[in-house]
Amino acid sequence: MAAVELSLWLLSFIVVAGLLGIVVYQLMCLSDLEFDYINPFDSSSSINKFVVPEFVLQASLCVLYLVTGYYGLFLLNLPVVYYHARLYMNKRHLVDVTEIFNLLGYEKKYRLMKLGFYLILFFIVIYKLVVAAVLLILEYDTGPDLDM
């Protein structure tokens, strides 16, 4: 059972690390645009390339927590998934190349808030991963109880 827990937290660690990477990449694209290292078209296309995969990863992580019975983490992720779904359904999830300079401050703040959320989730997952690894080691160390 501890091996399954460890697998779950390893998968969660990989997904959350991927989400962190996506948000940091988007922030770098916005910073490059702000300092005029990249043009608006390239910046918005680079950001938009990762928006839907980020939404899918976040939703799959939320479903994973629901299926495995981690309802606290599911409820923690549910508002973010709901917000992403609303953005997608209202077709406001992509960065518009013509409005990117006007919305640059908003887009950076939005992604910084997501970065903060993903960092909190990252530390929770690391804690759970370490606990699962220690429990697996202790379970392996003691071995099965053989009463004959």
**Residue 100 belongs to some domain of the structure:** yes
**Residue percentage of the chain with pLDDT more than 90:** 87
Does residue 146 or residue 8 have the better pLDDT?
8
Q: Determine the Cα angle at 124 with ends 28 and 7, to 5°.
A: 100
Task: Write 32-39 long-range contacts (CB < 8 A, 24+).
Answer: 33/100, 33/101, 33/104, 34/104, 34/108
Band of pLDDT at residue 143, cut at 50, 70 and 90:
low
Res 2: pLDDT: 81
**Residue 45 belongs to some domain of the structure:** yes
**Residue 58 belongs to some domain of the structure:** yes
Structural domain total, the chain: 1
User: Is the confidence at residue 147, as pLDDT, over 60?
Assistant: no
**Residue 70 belongs to some domain of the structure:** yes
**Residue 147 belongs to some domain of the structure:** no
**Residue 146 belongs to some domain of the structure:** no
Interval 78-106: pLDDT, tens: 999 999 999 999 999 999 999 988 999 99
